[in-house]
Structures are given as C-alpha cells and as structure tokens.
Structure 1
Amino acid sequence: MSRCYRAVLAPLATLMLLVGCAAVGPDYVAPSLPATQLPARFDELPAGLGPGSVEARWWGAFDEPALTGLVQRALAANHDIAIAAVRLEEARAMLRESRQGFLPRGGPALSYENRRWSEVQTPAGQSRQNETYRGAVDASWEIDLFGRVRRSVEAARAQAGSREALLRGVQASVAAEVAATWFELRGIEAELAVAADTRQSQRDSLSMVERQVNAGAATEFDRLRAEALLRSVEVSVPELERRRDASVNALAILLGEPPQRFTPPAAEPGEQALALRTIAVGEPTALLWRRSDIAAAERALAAATAQIGVETAGLYPEVQGSIGVVTGSLDGMSGASALSSFIGPMIRWSLLDTGRVRARIAASEARAREALIVYDQTVLRALQETDDAFKAHGAASNTLRLRLLESAANGEAARLARARFSEGEGVYLDVLEAERADYASRRALTAARTRQRLAVVGIYKALGGGWEVCAQARQPCDGASL
C-alpha cells in the first residue's frame, strides 16, 4: 500500500475509533409521576369491584359465546385495526431505513460508449469506430462521531413503539365497542319484546273493555282510553326498530362486513343478575403499561427527546468516509496497472447555518416539553376515566336493583287492577294507570340492565384491557386483510 494511502488511513482510523463517543443531545429518561398524581391503589371501590389482576379476555366474563365470537371476528377483520397495523408496518420500515445510516452507500457504475469519428478527427492508421468502457465502484458512509445517526435510530424506534401502542389501543377499543354495541342491540331487542308483550296485553284489555261496554258495565270513554294506551305502546315500536337496525349496522362495520349482508347471531335469553361477578381492577401503576394511550404518549416523548440530539448534531462537523475504484476500459478491469482508486474522509461543517440549527434545536426542545405535558395529561385523564367508570358501575348497579323492585311492584299492581275490574270492582282508570306504569317500569328495567352491562364494559375500557390476547400465539388480531 502506498504512503499516500497510509497517510489517509491513519486519520480515518482515528476518526473511526471516535464513533463510540457519546451522542450529543439529552439521553432519554422515562418520566416519573409524583405520588399525588398516581395513587398506590384505588380507594373506595363500589360493590362488585376488587383488587387483583385485570382479566385480559374480559368479554368472556359475560359468559356469552355469541359476544366472544363477535369480538374475535372484529379483531381479525376490523378496518380501523388494519389501518393501525399498516401504520405500524410503515413505522418499522422507517426504523429499518434509519438503521441503514450506519452502512455504506454507493455501488458499481458502468458506462459504454460507441462513437464513430469523422475522417478529419481520426488519426492516420486508426479505426474511425471507437468503443469505450468505463467502470467504477465507490462507497461512502457517515462516520457518526456526534450521534446524529444514533439519535435518528432512537427517534424512529420510539415512533415505532408509539405506533405499536396505538395499534393495541385500537384493538382494545374495538373489543369494547363490539361489546357495547352488542349489549345495546340486546337491550333494544328486549325493549321490543316488552313492547310486543305489552301490546298483546293491551289488546286483551281492550277486548275486555269492549265486552264491558256491550254489557253496560263500562263506558265508551273507558274504551277510548284503552285504545289510546294500546296505540301509545304501538307507536314506540318503529323508533325501537330503527335503533335496532342502526345497532346491527354499527356491529357490521366493526366486523368489517357490509351491513346489507350481515346478520347478528342469536343471543341467549337475558338474565336478571345485578352483576356478573367481582371485577378485578388491579392497581393504578398498572395503567402505565396497560393503557395504550399512556404507552403511546411515553414513546412520543422518547422520540421527541431523541430528535433534540438529531438537531444538535447539526452544530458539529459531518464526517464521511469514502472509498472507490475506477477503470477507464473494459480490459482495465482485470489489470491492476490500469486501475485508479481513492480513499479518504470528507468533513462538512455548515458554520453559516448555526442560527438555523439552533432555531431547530429550540423547536425540538419545545416539542419535547409539549410531549411531556401531553404524557402527564394522558395519565391524569386515565385516572379520571377509571374513577368515572367505577362510579358509573356503582350507580348503574344500584339503579338496576331499584328498577327490579319497581318493576315487580308495578307488575303486581297491574295484575290486581285488571283482576278487580274484571270482577266488577274499581274503575277502569285504575287499570289504565297501573298498566301504563307497568309498561314504563318494564322498559326502564330493560334500559337499566343495558346500562349496567355497558358500565362493566366501560370499566374494562378505562383499564385499557383486551389487547393482551393479541400477543398470544396464533391469535388473529391484525384487522381486515388487503
């Protein structure tokens, strides 16, 4: 090797040894929250809630095979999940691209020229036809002295982590939306069943009043009131059917299917249970890793912190190494005497751009501070949503318990009122009032049961559970396929 090469390689080797130096910019440290913001445990839990690990496959707690099947279908075919999965693929591809910054760039370059010279241009005794081959192989790479490439990789890795957390969030949200829509659909169908049962009861009542009118034991006014009550029940059916159809369509979209071809599965008859069983809610600290929005905010903060280092590297020289071999003819490719080569570093330092670089550093620092505030706010909102869900569950359970008592009392009162009137005791106004109250309380009971189940879904959604099942082997959770 010539002395020229040695003169170039010596400083280049020195620069390569410096690659292991610390990268410029701040090193990321995961944020820690004050104890006042993140309590050690959930206090004053309503009845039905308790400590313990949160169940990942929480929809199985309802013991409804139809619901379990719908959630599994949605995780495998939902379009929102597919969009989030593709965005994660994009982020991972960008991470792979960032890692390429450590590797050389360049490659071979070949050219061929076939030229015919004029007689004037052609020297005596030489051919006018001339073929020229040129070839070169070159490679260049950035010597990452100040960590620009390393910080870029850190930022890309954090962005990929944020996209992964967002995918988990969509999976958990879709599971909760499927459960909520399913229970709303079941609640509407239960209201329709109440309306159908009450309508038949009112028809029987109207027939009884008509017989009483013919027998002279009742008046036309009583018959009109009975018919009005029947029509008031019937008029509620079209709106309930519209809501049912809207819920079916919403469920179809969640499952990635056309509404026109979707038929919901049949459900088992509803039960009168006040609660499923004791729900384990875990500890507040578990929200930091289970809630996908918190994880995504933390990864966004890490990416913003790494970006400060990327911008700070602009204040320092950019050092590149390069190496190449060039030949001027095809024959020269096999002859070392015809080859020319080069090797050496190149230093680029944009001293005149210092003001712009510092402005970009200040902007990246501001974005990092914003990301930290967003993270803090996300944790606080998670605590708020969790507490709201706990209280909503307690209120819904108490309301359901009272609605059961109310419905039982109104149902018995309506039965007694009809029996008394059929035996010639009392007035029909008592029957009308009792039946109207019975119908209203039965519908209210159905709505209360639906709200109680939606409150349970709200707890699991606030706790951020559900996505863990997608981490299991052979679990299809990537959404709709292309």
Structure 2
Amino acid sequence: MRNLIPLLPLAALAACTVGPNYEGPKSAGAVAAPAAFVRAGDSSVAAPAVADWWRGLNDAELDSLVERALKDNPSIAVAEARLRQARSALRLDRANGLPNANVQGTYLRAELPNGGLTGGEADGGTTGIDFYNVGFDASWEIDLFGGQKRRVEAARAGVGAAEAQVADAQVSLTAEVASAYVNLRDRQRRLELGRATAETRRRILGLTEQRFRAGTASQLDVERIRGLVVESDAAIVPIDAERDAYLNALAVLVGEAPGTLDAELSAPRPVPLPPARVDVGDPAQLLERRPDVRAAERVLAQRTAQIGLTKAAAMPRISFLGLIGIGGTDPGDLFDLGNLVGIAAPRLQWNALDFGRNAARLGQAEGQRDEAAAQYRAAVLTALRDAEDALSRYAARRATVAAAARSKATADRAAALMQQRYSAGVATLIDTLDAERQRTAAEQSLVQATAAMTADYVALQKALGLGWRA
C-alpha cells in the first residue's frame, strides 16, 4: 500500500483539465433568435420536413435528377471525404491517449580490435562479436492537465463541423439542381411561345404585303411588321442558348459530361408549381436546422477546446518508458530467461523557460476562439436575414403570378372575342392574329412569373436549411 502513496498526487493532477469548458454559443454572446419570422405572411408555422422538400413540386424527373446528384456530384464526394478524414483524426487522437507498445528484434555484428575489450595492447587483429536481442517496449504519457482530453474534444467538434458541411453541400446542391431544372423548363416553354409569336408575325407580314400590293397598306406598314418579325427571331436566340446552358448544368450537377441529358430532357414540360401551403417553422428551429450555422457552432466548440490544449502544453509532462528484453551473443540466449533485462524509466519534462512562446500561442488560440464566435454570430444573422428575404420575395412573387394570371385570362377572352368577330366578318384576319399575339405574350409573362415564383420557392427552402440527410 505504501508503494501507491506517491502516485496519489499524480492521480489528483490527472483529474485536472485546464482551459475553458465549452458551454454552447450563448457563452460567446450569440444572437438570440426571435420568436417568429417577421415576414412569414400566410405561411404555416409548422416545422418543415428537413429532407426531400423537392418532392413537394410533384415532378418525377426532378426527383430523379436530385437523387442522382446527391449520389454522384463531386462536391458531395469532396465533403464526404473531408468527413472521413475528420473521423479518422478523431480515432487517431483517441488512440494517442493510450499506451504505445512495440516489439523489436535486433541482431548486431561488431568487429573489435584485439585487446579492445580487455584494455590490453592491440596486436593488429580483430575479434568478431554477435549480439542477439528480442525486446518489448511500451511508453505512456499521463494526461496530467487534460491536454489529451481537450485534443479529443477538439477533434470531436471537428467531426461535427465536417458532418454539417456535408449537409450544407447537400442543401446547396439540391437547390442548385432544382433551380437549373425550373429554368430549363421555363426556357423550353418560352422558346415554344417565342416561335409561335414569330410565326404569327410572319403571317401578319404576309397579309400586310398582300394589302400593300393591293394598295390598301403603305410601305411603312410592311417595314414596321417586318421589323417585328426580325425582333421575334432575335429574341429566340439567347433563350435557345440559355436552354442549352441549363441542360449542360444539370448534366454536370448529376456527375455526367455536358450533353448527356439532352435526349432525356429535350421534351418540354410545364414548370413545376410549389405546394399551396409552405411550412417554415420558427427562427429557433431554423438555427438548429441550418447546416452552415451548425458548422459554425462546431468550429466555435473546436476553437474553445484548443485553448485548453494550448494551456496544457505549458504544463509539466510525465511519461513512462518500460523495456523488457532477452538476448546474448548466441542465438540460444534468446531462450534463456536468465538473460532477461527489464527497465522502467519515468520522465518529467517541463519547458519552464520558453521566453513567452506558449503565452503567444495561448493568445493566438484565444484570438481564434473569438474569431469563431464572431463568425458564428454572423452565420446566425445571415441565416435569419436569408429566411426573411426569401419569405418576402416568395410572397411578392405569388402576387405577381396572380396578376399575370388575370392578365392572361383577359388576353384569352379578347382573343376569343376577336375570333368570333372574324368569323362573323366584322374583323380582319390581321386584327385576329394580333389579338392572338397579345394572348401569347400574356402567356409568356405568366410562364416567366411562374418560373420565378418556383425559383423563389427553391430559394426559400435553401434559406430554411432544408434538403440534407443525416
């Protein structure tokens, strides 16, 4: 029992962990989340489902593209690789706190001058000596001041940050795929309507030329209509290029070469519509859900743990080295227990005179913690602003779509009435075609407004931190 008494002070020291204990972001002056969103409007305050928000758009093609992107996109692979690195680093730091043991075998051949071993006069000859040894050594450093504990704590927080960064990559990717898909369908429909408008104007031009030859229209009328035809044809060109760009973007997002999805997505389809009800939850749920906020919080925890790690590095260190070996000058000595040698060597190490180096490292660690705290506060404010902006834009866009739908209904009625007048012989074909052109233009405006509304819905889901999976 008396042999254990000297170890009691070491046991007491081993229970000491230097450095600040992380008590959450509130200890760093985090911004308090408001009780509700200011611009939630008529959105539901129910908590939204975190994953698979895009299924609310009811488009099977979009569902397939998102799933393929989550599986094969390089940005997800990069984030997952970094997560595996962080998990391996945590396992390594945990293992470093355990004893380190090695088994070794040694053979030594030495040629010594005669007399060199006994101190006599050398006669010019040499004597050969063989030495055989098999040994086992172990070393262990006692975690006196919790430096190893803080190292593991920092590594665990690093894993949490890497997991949140994977989720953040998923949120960004799903929003990017959905946005590109909505824009593709918008451009395809606008191309159809643009070509229809150009064809209508060509028919009007043909009729105007006939009237000019008959002397009932002027050259100015012909040139004015011809200019509108050229304008329609020119408007189609950039839309066509944008359609191709979104096809390429979607191919790359799902991990394929540009052009791979052209055949699959070439057939136009309507722009998907968001659901009638949008669940947004409350700001506190938002901050718990947003991966970038969670990543910033884990980085803050990691930087806090590193302060303790730096403080522990300035404290005394005690390590133990143990060695057991057996051997001699003959291979048979390896099996003779009489040649057993054991060594135990405790070691005390303390860099008591470092001329302020560790104080400088501590100041650096505390500065990094303060930087992480400021970045966390910035992430919280950015998340709240993103959500409020997205809610405001989405509400405004819904009003815009409603107005565009009313305008489209008016243009439809005008075109129908003009067709009736033409059938009754009281309106010209040119007037009828012009009414049809106006109806097509109103439909174009409605398509654009609808696409913009769905794009704002996608942006809202991203701002709410949705689209990631554990």
Which residue does 2:321 correspond to in 1? 322
Equivalences for 1:18-167 in 2 at 5 Å?
18=12, 20-32=14-26, 37-47=32-42, 49-55=43-49, 56-115=51-110, 130-167=129-166
Shift of 1:158: 0.5
Distance in 2, matches of 1:222 and 1:420, equals 23
Distance in 1, matches of 2:332 and 2:348, equals 35
1:259 aligns with 2:254: no
Q: Any idea what SS the aligned residue of 1:45 has?
A: coil
Shift of 1:212: 2.8
Equivalences for 1:376-415 in 2 at 5 Å?
376-410=377-411, 412-413=413-414
TM-score, structure 1 as length reference: 0.86
After superposition, the C-alpha distances for 1:282-329 in whole angstroms (9 at most, x for unaligned) are: 111112221001100110000000000000012210111221113342
Of the structure 1 ranges 318-327 and 74-83, higher mean CA displacement relative to structure 2 is found in 318-327
Q: Any idea what SS the aligned residue of 1:351 has?
A: coil
Which residue does 1:303 correspond to in 2? 302
Which residue does 1:195 correspond to in 2? 194
Q: Assess, with a 3 A threshold, how the Cα gap between structure 1 residues 267 and 165 changes in structure 2: closer, same or farther.
A: farther
Distance in 1, matches of 2:454 and 2:288, equals 26
Shift of 1:217: 3.0
Q: Assess, with a 3 A threshold, how the Cα gap between structure 1 residues 413 and 228 changes in structure 2: closer, same or farther.
A: farther
Letter in 1 for 2:336: G
Is the contact made by 2:39 and 2:391 (CA closer than 8 Å) also made in structure 1? Answer: no
Aligned length: 459
Is the contact made by 1:122 and 1:128 (CA closer than 8 Å) also made in structure 2? Answer: no
Letter in 2 for 1:345: P
Runs of 5+ unmatched residues, structure 1: 1-5, 472-482
Distance in 1, matches of 2:243 and 2:6, equals 74
Is the contact made by 1:199 and 1:234 (CA closer than 8 Å) also made in structure 2? Answer: yes
After superposition, the C-alpha distances for 1:25-59 in whole angstroms (9 at most, x for unaligned) are: 01111123989741112244234x21112123110
Shift of 1:412: 4.7
Of the structure 1 ranges 77-86 and 253-262, higher mean CA displacement relative to structure 2 is found in 253-262
Which residue does 1:478 correspond to in 2? none
Is the contact made by 2:197 and 2:437 (CA closer than 8 Å) also made in structure 1? Answer: no
Q: Assess, with a 3 A threshold, how the Cα gap between structure 1 residues 301 and 314 changes in structure 2: closer, same or farther.
A: same
Distance in 2, matches of 1:19 and 1:226, equals 93
Is the contact made by 1:19 and 1:143 (CA closer than 8 Å) also made in structure 2? Answer: no
Shift of 1:255: 0.6
Which residue does 1:171 correspond to in 2? 170
Distance in 2, matches of 1:224 and 1:30, equals 73
Letter in 2 for 1:376: R
Of the structure 1 ranges 208-217 and 337-346, higher mean CA displacement relative to structure 2 is found in 208-217
Letter in 2 for 1:89: R
Is the contact made by 1:152 and 1:310 (CA closer than 8 Å) also made in structure 2? Answer: yes
Distance in 1, matches of 2:136 and 2:271, equals 77
Which residue does 1:232 correspond to in 2? 231
Of the structure 1 ranges 76-85 and 327-336, higher mean CA displacement relative to structure 2 is found in 327-336
Letter in 1 for 2:144: L
Shift of 1:100: 1.6
Shift of 1:226: 2.1
After superposition, the C-alpha distances for 1:343-369 in whole angstroms (9 at most, x for unaligned) are: 142110000126111111111111111
Q: Assess, with a 3 A threshold, how the Cα gap between structure 1 residues 293 and 241 changes in structure 2: closer, same or farther.
A: same
Which residue does 2:444 correspond to in 1? 443
Q: Any idea what SS the aligned residue of 2:21 has?
A: coil
Of the structure 1 ranges 313-322 and 221-230, higher mean CA displacement relative to structure 2 is found in 221-230
Distance in 1, matches of 2:6 and 2:257, equals 63
Q: Any idea what SS the aligned residue of 2:103 has?
A: strand
Q: Any idea what SS the aligned residue of 1:239 has?
A: helix
Distance in 2, matches of 1:197 and 1:76, equals 39
Shift of 1:401: 1.1
Is the contact made by 1:15 and 1:143 (CA closer than 8 Å) also made in structure 2? Answer: no
Shift of 1:424: 7.3
Shift of 1:20: 4.8
Distance in 1, matches of 2:272 and 2:442, equals 14
Q: Assess, with a 3 A threshold, how the Cα gap between structure 1 residues 21 and 239 changes in structure 2: closer, same or farther.
A: same
Distance in 2, matches of 1:140 and 1:394, equals 66
Distance in 1, matches of 2:89 and 2:343, equals 32
Which residue does 1:221 correspond to in 2? 220
Distance in 2, matches of 1:225 and 1:144, equals 88
Letter in 2 for 1:291: R
Which residue does 1:477 correspond to in 2? none
Runs of 5+ unmatched residues, structure 2: none
Q: Assess, with a 3 A threshold, how the Cα gap between structure 1 residues 12 and 463 changes in structure 2: closer, same or farther.
A: farther
Distance in 2, matches of 1:13 and 1:142, equals 14
Shift of 1:216: 3.4
Q: Assess, with a 3 A threshold, how the Cα gap between structure 1 residues 326 and 154 changes in structure 2: closer, same or farther.
A: same
Alpha carbon RMSD of aligned pairs, Å? 3.1
Letter in 1 for 2:389: D
Shift of 1:335: 2.6
Distance in 2, matches of 1:186 and 1:280, equals 25
Of the structure 1 ranges 318-327 and 409-418, higher mean CA displacement relative to structure 2 is found in 409-418
Distance in 1, matches of 2:327 and 2:80, equals 50
Of the structure 1 ranges 402-411 and 234-243, higher mean CA displacement relative to structure 2 is found in 402-411
Shift of 1:117: 6.3
TM-score, structure 2 as length reference: 0.88
Distance in 1, matches of 2:380 and 2:351, equals 42
Is the contact made by 2:205 and 2:226 (CA closer than 8 Å) also made in structure 1? Answer: yes
Which residue does 2:375 correspond to in 1? 374
Distance in 2, matches of 1:36 and 1:178, equals 32
Of the structure 1 ranges 75-84 and 286-295, higher mean CA displacement relative to structure 2 is found in 286-295
Distance in 2, matches of 1:416 and 1:220, equals 30
1:338 aligns with 2:359: no
After superposition, the C-alpha distances for 1:408-427 in whole angstroms (9 at most, x for unaligned) are: 33455566678878957689
After superposition, the C-alpha distances for 1:387-414 in whole angstroms (9 at most, x for unaligned) are: 0000010111111111122233345556
Which residue does 2:208 correspond to in 1? 209
Distance in 1, matches of 2:439 and 2:225, equals 14
Is the contact made by 1:319 and 1:345 (CA closer than 8 Å) also made in structure 2? Answer: yes
Is the contact made by 1:315 and 1:354 (CA closer than 8 Å) also made in structure 2? Answer: no
Shift of 1:72: 0.3
